[in-house]
Amino acid sequence: MEAHRLQDFTEIDKLRLQLLNNSKDATSFHHLEAEVCPSSRDILNRIEDIILGIVTSLSQDEAPVLKLPNRSSWANISFDSTVGLQMNSGHSVTALRSDSPSSVNKFAQVLKILSVIYRLVQSNTYATKRDIYYNNTQLFGSQATVDSIVDDISCMLRAPRRSLHVLATSKGLISGDLCYMEEDGMRIDCRSSSAAVPVSSNIAGIRNIVSSAKFIIIVEKDATFQRLMDDDFCTKLPPCVIITGKGVPDMNSRLMVRKLWDTLHVPIFALVDSDPHGIEIMCIYKYGSMAMSFEAHSLTVPSVMWLGLLPSDLQRLQVPSDVLIPLTKNDEKKLSSLLQRPYLTDQPDWQKEMEVMQRTKVKAEIQSLAAISPDFLTNIYLPNKLRYGGWV
Amino acid sequence: MKDMRHLFPEWSAHMEAFLRSFSLVNAEINIHLTVKVDQHTVQYAFGAKVKKKLKLFSPVPLKLDVTCNTQPAIYGKERCWCLGGHPVCGSRLHVSIPPHAMDQGLFGDLSIQFVTLLSPCVLQYPNLATHISNIQLMVFNPSRVPVLKVPRFFQTLPAFLDFEDLGVDTLHCSSKDVQQLCGTSTYTSEPPSCSGPQQETSAVWQRVLVFLFLQLTDPFTSQLTDVMATEVLIERHLEDILNNNRHAMTVALQSELRNTLKAHNCRKKIKEKLNSAAEVILSSSISIVSCSSNLDFRRDCLNRMKVRDTQELSAAFGESLRRVTSWKCVPRHSCYSAKVRGMFAYRHVSGLVLICCHFHFSTDERTFRV
């Protein structure tokens, strides 16, 4: 029975072989990992260079200026099909002047966080972004400010955030055929069918990953993830892992997906709502985001496939029209924007699906499949999709 | 220049104030005064280096002397400094003529045109802190001659102005502080209290000049003699006119001062922001230097700031940061810029350049022969 069940999913095995043939040598991933991960001494030196620059400016009677790479300009981004969106080497910068009222606050905030990071790295201790914010709420004003500046510093120092000894609380969940060990020696078993495991906040410290999963499914929403958990999805099908970032994924969720790809080299599918927002979230996992393009090598998984809910599925499955939602003006704007992204030219099948959405002018959540039957998603839709290669 | 004021103590101050005030609003006229007292001859000149033309309601444009001779507080190096001012044409307030003034023959449409000037100009230094040293009100009759007798109205005016609203909460005004000299009322302020290391040592003292130009439109007055007679009437009844329009005058002056001091208040906010951020920049940078185990880095920092240890580094860093941010220069085409080099660090001289003049006068006629 087990063998028969596994035979039904030969398409997934074929895909896996195809992906292994297409991807570069596995060691190159680890080599890149080492390249982008500077040592503690490197981090301290880079911070000291910045301070020395400030002191030098003052000694020359000039106002110090901090130059932050501009992470919000498409002009600084280029697309590589093997990596995704990455920051150009000759990117433009934003100058923070210490003598300008409009930028002096941010200048001070950056210096403050640099001093915190310096101490953390020097003492080999860790703090979360939340700790940094609550240590000086008056200076920072909001958590979002701290989050943004930590990413700016990560880009400026050319070091991943984990090298700065700044942690972030993960919001993602993971479940399925997966066991691993955390850096502190705790063994994590994701095979429980009743409770999902929070994604680790120290992905780099994970070791001894053990899994016989044939594929991984990235689930956009927590509601869909819980539905799969409730329906024991991971035990009904061949061994698999499901993971959700609960919407726009945080860095740890993305790092976890990347780590699973690097370790297991199994197909990774995305299960998102059939709407522009869901497609954008899927693109973040696959190609990365503009804001984090400087760390694309460790965050993207260009091999992610779009499993569902495809716009063409809505027509093919004759999903009842009363659960379909008309696209808003913002949806149409976002859809047009997505179609112009550089990575879409590499994905003609995705383009076709998005053009179907543009033409029909409707969107639908995954939950709309329940209108066909309550267990349609886990008992029919997903198994058939996986069995017959219904991904693009 | 020999000081002859001791010979004519009563009139000298009034005469110099009069000629100075006259020269301010008639910048197209150069005044040369020669005074002979016994065997001593003294010559004076009143003229404008920097002039600004303003179009008022009157058909004759106003030419103001906006020259500013205030030495800025400059540290060491040569900097651009604006040697003039930028007067702002304010509102025109129509005032009513009291009945008994009309009985005496004063008719027509009487108004007061406000023109304000903040001096010295620091527009090229947007981060520089400023303090208001005094506010001067100068009244001119329709011929742009300074009104000789200052109305008592201006003595009591400070009690009706809301200085907190103007953002000059250190301006202390009482009747004894109101100096009245030949058409000019001056309200002086107390210097700000110094509080610890935060005291602003590179601030510039500014004064606010408010010109009040009386203007009368009367279609039945065209002959020169009539005009002169009317102006005498205006001066004679000025106190009553102002009292008759007290509320409107107070509101108008409050509004003019508020507009003029907007820039000053913005600077205060900017200064607070820069100072607050500077503290964080200083503490964060020094923290990194202090706990660094990289001797080369520490030595480079100390050497560049020419100090011996991190304590001196902290003081030098802080002072340097405050100085470079305060003296950020943004050149403006509209300013009358010249290169100036300061002589002392953080020392400044403010105030008018007073010109002393002494002359022979005839007391029986009450006219001045110059």
Transcribe B168-211 into DSSP letters.
-TT----GGG-EEETTEEEEE-PPPPP-GGG--TT-EEEEEEEE
User: What is the nearest CA distance from B179 to chain A, expressed in angstroms?
Assistant: 38
> B289 contacts in A (CB within 8 Å)?
51
User: A151: which residues sit within 8 A by CB, 6+ positions away?
Assistant: A71, A161, A291, A292
What φ, ψ does residue B279 adopt, rounded to 5°?
-60, -40
Confidence of residue B198 (pLDDT cuts 50, 70, 90): very low
* Residue A79 pLDDT greater than 90, yes or no: no
Predicted local distance difference test score (pLDDT) of residue A5: 52
Band of residue B172 on the pLDDT scale cut at 50, 70, 90 = low
**Residue A222 in contact with residue A173, Cβ under 8 Å?**
yes
In which residue are the tokens 């020696």 written? A185
| Sequence ranges of the domains in chain B | 1-47, 51-269, 274-369
Does the pLDDT at position A37 exceed 90?
no
Which of the residue ranges A90-104, B43-57, B295-309 would you say has the lowest mean pLDDT? B43-57
What are B338's two structure tokens?
A: 């010249």
Is residue B115 a contact partner of residue B62, using CB atoms and an 8 Å limit? yes
Query: What does the block give as tokens for B241?
Result: 């006119």
Q: Which residues are paired to A364 by β-bridges?
A: A274
Q: Using the beta-carbon criterion (under 8 Å), do A51 and B289 form an inter-chain contact?
A: yes
Nearest alpha carbon to residue B137 among B157, B121, B120, B123: B157
Q: Which residue's structure tokens are 């109205």?
A: B153
Interface probe for B, chosen from A40, A58, A61, A66 (most Cβ of B below 10 Å), is A58
Mean pLDDT of B274-303: 96
Chain-wide mean pLDDT for chain B?
Answer: 79
User: Which pLDDT does position B364 carry in this prediction?
Assistant: 29
**Nearest of A144, A143, A126 to residue A184 by alpha carbon:** A126
The CB density around residue A320, as the number of other CB atoms within 10 Å, is: 12
Query: Does B350 have pLDDT greater than 80?
Result: no
pLDDT of amino acid A28: 44
Cβ atoms of A70 and A290 closer than 8 Å:
no
pLDDT band at B20 (very low <50, low <70, confident <90, very high): confident
- What is the pLDDT confidence band of residue A71, given thresholds at 50, 70 and 90? confident
Look at B131 and B350; give whichever has higher pLDDT.
B131
Average pLDDT over residues A265-274: 95
Average pLDDT, chain A: 88
Bigger pLDDT: B147 vs A119: A119
> What HEC string does A303-329 produce?
CCEEEECCHHHHHHCCCCHHHCEECCH
* Torsion angle in degrees (nearest 10) through CA of A119, A124, A129, A132: -30
> Which residues of A are marked as active site?
134
Question: Would you state the pLDDT for residue A26?
Answer: 43
Instruction: Tell me how long chain B is.
Output: 370
Does residue B176 register a pLDDT over 80?
A: no
Q: Do B284 and A119 touch (CB under 8 A)?
A: no
A345 phi, psi to nearest 5 deg: -65, -20
The mean pLDDT value for B216-222 works out to 82
The more confidently predicted of residues B92 and A30 is: B92
pLDDT of the residue at B13: 66
CB A354 within 8 A of CB A272: no
- Is the pLDDT assigned to residue B170 strictly greater than 90? no
Distance CA(B94)–CA(B213), nearest Å, equals 12
pLDDT for position B341: 65
Select the more confidently predicted residue: A388 or B202: A388
Pull the structure tokens for residue A214.
């044939």
ipTM over 0.85: no
- Quick one: tokens of B339? 């290169």
pTM (predicted TM-score): 0.77
Min distance A50 CA to chain B CA atoms (Å): 9
Nearest Cα neighbor of B27 from B117, B128, B106 is B117
Q: How far apart are CA A296 and CA A85, in angstroms?
A: 7
B46, pLDDT greater than 60: yes
Residue B344 reports pLDDT greater than 70: no
Distance CA A156, CA A87 (A): 12
Contacts of A255 (CB under 8 A, 6+ apart): A203, A204, A298, A299
Who wins on pLDDT, A25 or A307? Answer: A307
Distance between CA atoms of residues A112 and B278, nearest Å: 11
Q: How far is CA B94 from CA A37, B243, B282, in A?
A: 75, 14, 55
- Cβ pair B94, B58 in contact under 8 A: no
**How far is residue B193's CA from residue B171's CA, in Å, rounded to a whole number?**
12
> Most confidently modeled of A191-195, A374-378, B357-361?
A374-378
How far is it, in rounded angstroms, from Cα A392 to Cα A281? 16
Please provide the distance, in angstroms rounded to a whole number, between the alpha carbons at the two ends of chain A: 29
pLDDT value of residue A144: 94
Mean pLDDT to the nearest integer, B241-256: 94
Q: What was the pLDDT predicted at B191?
A: 62
Q: Is B86 exposed, middle or buried (0-12, 13-18, 19+ CB in 10 A)?
A: middle
| pLDDT for position A30 | 41
Distance CA B302, CA B314 (A): 10
pLDDT band at A31; cut points 50, 70, 90: very low
Binned at pLDDT 50, 70 and 90, residue B339 comes out as confident
Per-residue confidence (pLDDT) for residue B76, from 0 to 100: 55
Given a cut of 60, whether residue A1 has pLDDT beyond it is no
For an interface test with B, give the residue of A48, A109, A124 to mutate (most B CBs within 10 A).
A48
Contacts A–B by Cβ distance under 8 A = 99
Half-sphere exposure of B120 (CA within 13 A, CB side): 28
Residue B75: band (very low, low, confident or very high) from pLDDT cuts 50, 70, 90: low
B277 to chain A, closest Cα gap in Å: 5
Average pLDDT rounded to a whole number, residues B273-295 = 96
pLDDT at B203: 81
Question: Strand A268-271 vs strand A305-308: parallel, antiparallel, or unpaired?
Answer: parallel
Q: Looking at residue B219, what is its pLDDT?
A: 81
Q: How confident is the model at residue B313 (pLDDT cuts 50, 70, 90)?
A: very high
Q: Look at the alpha carbons of A325, A329, A334, A337 in this order and tell me if their dihedral is positive or negative.
A: positive
Q: Which residue has tokens 């002018």?
A: A361
Band of the pLDDT at A43, cuts 50, 70, 90? very high
What is chain B's Cα-based Rg?
25
Higher-confidence residue of A301 and B45: namely: A301
Q: Do B277 and A108 touch (CB under 8 A)?
A: yes
Mean pLDDT within A225-239: 89
B138 three-state secondary structure: strand
Distance, CA of A352 to CA of A254 (rounded, Å):
26
| Percent of chain A topping pLDDT 90 | 66
Of B276, B280, B323, the CB nearest to A111: B280
CB-CB neighbors (< 8 A) of B285 in chain A: 51, 54-55, 111, 115
Q: Is a pLDDT exceeding 90 seen at residue A135?
A: yes
Among the ranges given (A366-370, B194-198, B364-368), the one the predictor scored with the smallest mean pLDDT? B364-368
Buried b (16+ CB within 10 A) or exposed e, B283-320: bbbbbbbeebeeeebbebbbebbebeebeebbebbbbb
Which residues does chain A have within 8 Å of residue B310's beta carbon, measured at their own beta carbons?
none
Chain B residue nearest residue A48, CA to CA: B297
pLDDT higher than threshold 70 for residue B30: yes
Q: Which one of A52, A109, A111 has the shortest CB-CB distance to B297?
A: A52
Is residue A271 within 8 A of residue A246, CB to CB? The reply is: no
The C-alpha atoms of residue B127 and residue B330 are separated, in whole angstroms, by 10
Give contacts of A115 with chain B, Cβ < 8 Å.
283-285, 287-288
pLDDT of residue A92: 79
In this prediction, residue A78 has a pLDDT band, given cuts at 50, 70 and 90, of: confident
Closest Cα to residue A273, out of A167, A362, A338? A362
Residue B245: is its pLDDT beyond 90? Answer: yes
